[in-house]
Structures are given as C-alpha cells and as structure tokens.
C-alpha cells in the first residue's frame, strides 16, 4: 500500500491525500535530507531521512502535504543557523538573534502568528490592474480555496509560500490575494486534476478554477445568488450543452458540498 515517504506520526493527515512528487520535488527532498543530516541532533529527523531513496526510480513513493512542509522546513533552519553563526562576534547581536529565534520557535510550536499583511501574498503587491481595471484584494474564505492554494505551492515547489503557510489556517489568518494572481498560481492544480478526469468526460475543459474563485468570492464570501448562465460563461465562454452544465454542477457539488445550494426556477 502507498505510504508517505516523510511521514510524521505527530501530524494529523487523516484527511490529506497522498501526492505523487515531481522531479523538482524529489530534488527538494534530497536537498533537505542533506541539510537535516548536517544539522544533526533533534533536527536530523532520522526516520524520515532514512526513507528517502537516493534516486527517483528506486521506488514509487508519495507524500502528505503537511509532512512535506514540515520536512522541508530544514531550509529555514539552515538559514537561521547561518544567521546565528554570523552573530558570534557580537554578544548584543547574539542575544538579539537568540530572542528572535526563541520567539519564532515559540510561534512554530503554538501556531500563534499574526495576521498576514494587507497585500496579495502571491504577487506581494496591494494594487493590481487588469485591462485598466483595478482588482481589489479578497480573502480566502473556504476550505476548497485554501486546499487548492496549498496544493499549488507544492506543485510550484514554492518554498517561500510553504514557509509562510505551513500549519497555518489561511482563513483565520486572513490570507489575501488578487483573483488573477490566485487563478494564475493555482492553474497548475486545475490542469493536474483535469488530466486525471475520465477520458469520456465533457471535453469543454473550460476554466474551472475561475468558477471556483467566483463561487468562493461572490457566492460564499459575498452571499450573492448567481445563475448557472453566469457560471457557465466564466467556465467556457458560453451557455454550453446540457451535459456540460450537468458536469459543472457535479464538480461544484463535489468541491463545496453543502456550502452552496442549487435553486430551481419556479
């Protein structure tokens, strides 16, 4: 049976699906394995390091997102150690570094972190114009949007965002983004999902991620009622066939469950 190659028993992964890594993800695991072995002690994580093969082709392996994020935190640990070593010449600087390190370790242990800054956490900007129209910031307000973003960060091998969102409730911490930035960033997840769809499914692939974002921001976040015509226009640029409308409803129900309701016209 498939198992997580860097599994941590201390993490609750019961609701996490196993992800097949890419070549880039495997290189990241190897790099972090070497870092943890060099750090030694409590940062070594021997059980996880020993499971990682030297070559991608030796075994077929998978990982949980939470386990992966905890293991690759080794890069942050290495940067912290390098920074501390550079402060040895000054006692005051060393004490300041130690206090900051202790605070970060305390934050990591308790999950107590401040809200995200009031900018798009993807492009790092507050203002964005799309075709001369200003696009406002919006928060992540659903589990689906949060899960999609966290899957995308792994697909992109984006260690900067991984470090920022590891073990973080993005809804509670008010993670903000521009809709265009979110759609562009998470498109890799949609493409992967579409590639695994049944070959007999409706071939009007459309932009399902755009529909997800619209439902997330306007229906759930904005408490608006939108017609299927509006969703279908966002999905494939036209009303579409009855089969494609039915397929879209099925996918939305699977993604959002009882968070949305389809109303029948009187």
pLDDT tens digits, 131-151 = 888 888 888 888 888 888 888
pLDDT of residue 203 exceeding 50, the answer is no
Q: Which residue has the higher pLDDT, 87 or 3?
A: 3
164: tokens are 């920022």
Dihedral sign of CA atoms 139, 179, 130, 162 in order:
positive
pLDDT of residue 57 exceeding 50, the answer is yes
Q: Which residue has the higher pLDDT, 37 or 201?
A: 37
Q: Which residue has the higher pLDDT, 239 or 219?
A: 219
C-alpha R_g of the chain: 22
pLDDT of residue 104 exceeding 80, the answer is no
137: tokens are 């910031």
pLDDT of residue 110: 43
pLDDT of residue 199 exceeding 50, the answer is no
What confidence tens digit (pLDDT) does each residue in 65-84 have? 888 888 887 767 776 666 66
What is the reported pTM? 0.45
Q: Name the residue ranges covered by the structural domains of the chain.
A: 18-82, 128-196, 205-256
- Partners of 129 in beta bridges: 134
Q: Which residue has the higher pLDDT, 42 or 93?
A: 42
Specify which of 15-24, 70-79, 91-100, 240-249 reaches the highest per-range mean pLDDT: 15-24
Dihedral sign of CA atoms 249, 251, 253, 259 in order:
negative
pLDDT of residue 58: 61
Give the whole-angstrom CA distance, residue 26 versus residue 29: 5
pLDDT of residue 255 exceeding 60, the answer is yes
The share of the chain scoring above pLDDT 90, in percent, equals 3
CB-based contact 207:170 (threshold 8 Å): no
């Amino acid at each position: 049976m498939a198992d997580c190659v860097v599994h941590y028993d201390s993490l609750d992964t019961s609701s996490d699906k196993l992800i097949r890594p890419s070549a880039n993800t495997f290189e990241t695991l190897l790099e972090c394995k070497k870092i943890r072995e060099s750090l030694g002690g409590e940062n070594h994580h021997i059980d996880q390091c020993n499971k990682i093969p030297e070559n991608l082709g030796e075994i077929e392996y998978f990982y949980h997102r939470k386990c992966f994020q905890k293991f690759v935190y080794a890069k942050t640990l290495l940067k912290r150690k390098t920074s501390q070593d550079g402060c040895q010449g000054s006692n005051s600087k060393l004490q300041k570094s130690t206090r900051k390190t202790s605070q970060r370790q305390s934050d990591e242990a308790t999950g107590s972190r401040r809200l995200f800054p009031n900018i798009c956490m993807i492009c790092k900007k507050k203002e964005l114009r799309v075709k001369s129209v200003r696009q406002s910031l919006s928060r992540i307000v659903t589990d689906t949007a949060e899960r999609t973003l966290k899957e995308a960060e792994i697909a992109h091998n984006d260690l900067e965002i991984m470090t920022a969102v590891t073990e973080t409730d993005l809804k509670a911490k008010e993670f903000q983004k521009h809709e265009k930035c979110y759609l562009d960033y998470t498109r890799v997840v949609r493409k992967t999902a579409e590639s695994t769809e049944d070959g007999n499914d409706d071939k009007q692939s459309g932009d399902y991620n755009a529909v997800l974002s619209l439902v997330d921001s306007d229906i759930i976040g904005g408490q608006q009622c939108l017609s299927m015509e509006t969703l279908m226009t966002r999905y494939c640029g036209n009303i579409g066939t009855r089969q494609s409308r039915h397929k879209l409803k099925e996918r939305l129900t699977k993604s959002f469950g009882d968070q949305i309701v389809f109303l029948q016209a009187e």
